[in-house]
Amino acid sequence: MPYGFAPNIRDYYMQSRDALDRALASPEFLRATADIAGLWTERFAAGRKILLCGNGGSAGDAQHIAGELLCRFRFDRAPLPALALTVDSSVMTAIGNDYAYDQIFSRQVLGLATEGDVVVGISTSGRSPNVVKALEAARSKGATTVAFTGEDPRDLGALADLVLKAPSASTPIIQQIHMTAAHIICELVEVTLFPKPNA
């Protein structure tokens, strides 16, 4: 049954394509993707772990990335120590109730992160208070900080050692670019740490 959605669908696909084209044309974006892959590879090889956090769709992205690393991406191999700080409802509600919602990630970082770990904050706006506080806490623990943001990294970018700026101001398109980049990063980490025989 036709609903007349075709123009809207085409427009959205074109917006997505245009944002990806801008990312491909950006040396800064490509360099950030490579630098983050190199950092994660280096830290995993050194026995460190990666902690990820975000809100809403970015919480889902944090969990998605952690799953790709801890389970597998392209092929069977040893698990990598990655943890999304968005999955323990008892911990998050306890911190939110006893302290404040803007501390739900930072308190976990203070308890779990050690020097040399990587803390990844994902925020399309670059200003989510709880994600900003997570990177502040990470710095206090000697962890390296990474931010996934939109075209304006704002507060989060100022706290990050590496910033991946999706070239868009649209939240859903920023999230699409984040996950495209994350899949590339996960694959680069996997094939570098676990080269397949005869590859």
pLDDT digits (tens, 9 = 90+) for 50-74: 999 999 999 999 999 999 999 999 9
Residue with tokens 């976990």: 108
Phi/psi for 104 (5° steps) reads -65, -25
User: What's the structural domain count of the chain?
Assistant: 1
56 is annotated as contributing to ligand binding: yes
Tell me the CATH number at 151. 3.40.50.10490
- Residues forming beta bridges with residue 67, ordered by sequence position: none
178 is annotated as contributing to ligand binding: no
183 is annotated as contributing to ligand binding: yes
Sign of CA dihedral 37, 41, 43, 44: positive
Q: Report DSSP state, residue 195.
A: P
Q: How many CB atoms lie within 10 A of CB 8?
A: 10
55 is annotated as contributing to ligand binding: yes
pLDDT of residue 132: 98
98 is annotated as contributing to ligand binding: yes
Q: How much is the pTM?
A: 0.95
Q: Which domain holds residue 130?
A: 9-193
Residue 198 lies in a domain: no
pLDDT of residue 104: 98
What are the tens digits of pLDDT across the range 144-176? 999 999 999 999 999 999 999 999 999 999 999
Residue 2 lies in a domain: no
Q: Which two tokens stand for residue 69?
A: 């690393």
What is the total residue count of the chain? 199
Residues of the chain with pLDDT under 70: 1-2, 197-199
Q: How many CB atoms lie within 10 A of CB 82?
A: 23
